[in-house]
């Protein structure tokens, strides 16, 4: 007779597993991280909503870090719009199409790296799929995660998507030229951020004043030196 | 939103362990709150991915959610973190380490012979 339910015909067995379901990604991410460190490449994961200005931010940033020092991995469901934008600036770029997946993972990034000539590269930017939820949970092997949030998205984004905002090392508030036209409460936004991620530096930019990205470039350079 | 991916990973762990002569009656899972797993969405994804597979007929998913845990780097005390309040409740310091809340484990499963 079965011990578990007392039935006559079934034999039950409990198998203890204690296994991390998402360990595959963690293992791959650790491999990527070790690879970047060995090559002295500072890897940055760029996340944010669709349309928050991730690609425009990169376009602004590139001249201040030097286009020949940078490689870029673009992640999108479909299309090569973003990689074309990067290539037109003369930056080594590879496009990943996730074909429906809402986030990049460490495995996809490890294959994208194989396609890039990393000779002389100091910074690798991985522009994630636009999404404030799923990319949070997938470590790509980066040293730094930059979250892009734009004024038109509203000041309530940190309250609504706290895991993402808690996971960042730097936040860029974009499109600040729109502040006079939109009811975006800067203090409320910053207060929420300081509750969820008290030590995360926040920078404000607009593509109308590209020089506003200079302090961001300086902060990235400083961080990368500290990691080396 | 990432529940389908989690269900796929879960099945990739389980599939090699059970042949057609077995049925899985129960799977116990444990997630940290920071993984933001929605029980109902995971159940739906699991049931869609296993539809028609006799090994997973009427399988019960037992899902345990663990709280986010923090440890203060200054006073060294440990505590539960509620509502993403990333601050030590004892001394108010913001230099804290997250020590729990990222779990995504398959704890055990129960199988029967058919």
pLDDT at B44 > cutoff 90: yes
Q: What is the dotted CATH code of the domain comprising A23-227?
A: 3.40.50.300
Residue A6: the pLDDT is: 60
pLDDT value for A17: 83
Residue pairs between chains A and B whose CB atoms are closer than 8 Å: 87
CB-CB under 8 Å, B106 with A17: yes
Range 145-184 of A in CB contact (< 8 A) with B: 162-163, 166
Q: What is the 3-state secondary structure (H, E, C) of chain A?
A: CCCCCCCCCCCEEEEEEEEECCHHHHHHHHHHHHHHHHCCCEEEEEEECCCCCHHHHHHHHHHHHCHHHEEEEEEECCCCHHHHHHHCCCCEEEEEECCCCCCCCHHHHHHHHHCCCCCCCCEEEEECCCECCHHHHCCCCCCEEEEEEEHHHCCCHHHHCHHHHHHCCEEEEECHHHHHHCCCCHHHHHHHHHHHCCCCCEEECCCCCHHHHHHHHHHHHHHHHHHC
The answer to whether A137 contacts chain B (CB < 8 Å) is: yes
Kindly report, residue by residue over A179-204, the tens digit of the pLDDT: 999 999 999 999 999 999 999 999 99
Residue A10 confidence (pLDDT)? 63
Domain ranges of chain B: 3-67+102-113
Q: Does A131 touch chain B (CB under 8 A)?
A: yes
- Sorted by where each begins, the domain ranges of chain A are 23-227
- Fold exhibited by the domain B3-67+102-113: hypothetical protein PF0899 fold (3.30.2320)
Query: Which residues of chain B does A102 touch, with a Cβ-Cβ cutoff of 8 Å?
Result: 1-2
For residue A137, what pLDDT is reported?
A: 87
Return the closest-CA partner of residue A102 out of B72, B1, B75, B90: B1
Determine the pLDDT at residue A23: 86
Distances (CA, A) of A208 to A48, A51, A60, A95, A176: 20, 16, 10, 27, 9
The pLDDT tens digits of the residues spanning B58-88 come to 999 999 999 999 999 999 999 999 999 999 9
Quote the tokens at residue B86. 């990333």
In this structure, are residues B108 and A12 in contact, taking their beta carbons and an 8 Å threshold? Answer: no
Predicted local confidence at residue B1, as pLDDT: 59
Do residue A13 and residue B25 have CB atoms under 8 angstroms apart?
no
Q: Residues of chain A whose pLDDT is less than 50? A: 1
ipTM greater than 0.85, yes or no? no
Would you state the pLDDT for residue A228? 73
Query: End-to-end CA distance of chain B, in Å?
Result: 34
pTM of the predicted model, to two decimals? 0.87
Parallel/antiparallel/unpaired status of strands A123-127 and A70-76: parallel
For B86, the closest chain A residue by CA position comes to A196
Angle among Cα A228, B102, A29 to the nearest 5 degrees reads 40
pLDDT in tens, A119-160: 999 999 999 999 998 899 899 999 999 999 999 999 999 999
Partners of residue B68 on adjacent β-strands: B81
């Amino acid at each position: 007779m079965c011990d578990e339910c007392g039935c006559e015909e079934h034999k039950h067995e409990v198998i203890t597993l204690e296994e991390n379901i998402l360990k595959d990604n963690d293992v791959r991410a650790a491999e990527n991280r070790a690879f970047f460190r060995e090559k002295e490449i500072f890897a940055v994961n760029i996340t944010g909503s669709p349309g928050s200005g991730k690609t425009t931010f990169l376009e602004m940033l590139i001249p201040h870090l030097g286009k020949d020092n940078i490689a870029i991995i673009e992640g999108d469901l479909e299309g090569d719009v973003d990689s074309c934008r990067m290539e037109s600036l003369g930056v080594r770029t590879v496009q990943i199409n996730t074909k429906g997946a809402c986030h990049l993972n460490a495995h996809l990034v490890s294959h994208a790296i194989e396609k890039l000539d990393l000779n002389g590269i100091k910074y690798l930017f991985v522009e994630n799929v636009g999404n404030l939820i799923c990319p949070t949970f997938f470590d790509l092997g980066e040293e730094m995660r930059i979250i892009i949030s734009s004024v038109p998205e509203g000041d309530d984004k940190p309250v609504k998507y706290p895991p993402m905002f808690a996971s960042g090392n730097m936040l860029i508030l974009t499109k600040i030229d729109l502040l006079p036209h939109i009811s975006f409460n800067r203090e409320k936004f910053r207060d929420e951020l300081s509750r969820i991620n008290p030590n995360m530096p926040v920078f404000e930019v607009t593509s109308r004043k590209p020089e506003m990205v200079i302090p961001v470039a300086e902060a990235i350079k400083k961080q990368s030196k500290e990691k080396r | 939103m990432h529940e389908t991916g989690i269900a796929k990973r879960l099945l990739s762990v389980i599939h090699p362990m059970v042949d057609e002569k077995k049925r899985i009656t129960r799977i116990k899972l444990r997630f940290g709150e920071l993984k933001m797993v929605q029980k109902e969405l995971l159940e739906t994804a699991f049931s869609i991915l296993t539809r028609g597979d006799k090994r997973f007929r009427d399988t019960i998913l037992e899902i345990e959610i663990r709280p986010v845990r923090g440890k203060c780097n200054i006073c060294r005390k440990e505590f539960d973190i509620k509502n993403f309040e990333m601050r030590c409740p004892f001394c108010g310091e913001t230099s804290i380490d997250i020590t729990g809340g990222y779990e995504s484990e398959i704890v055990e499963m129960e199988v029967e012979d058919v």
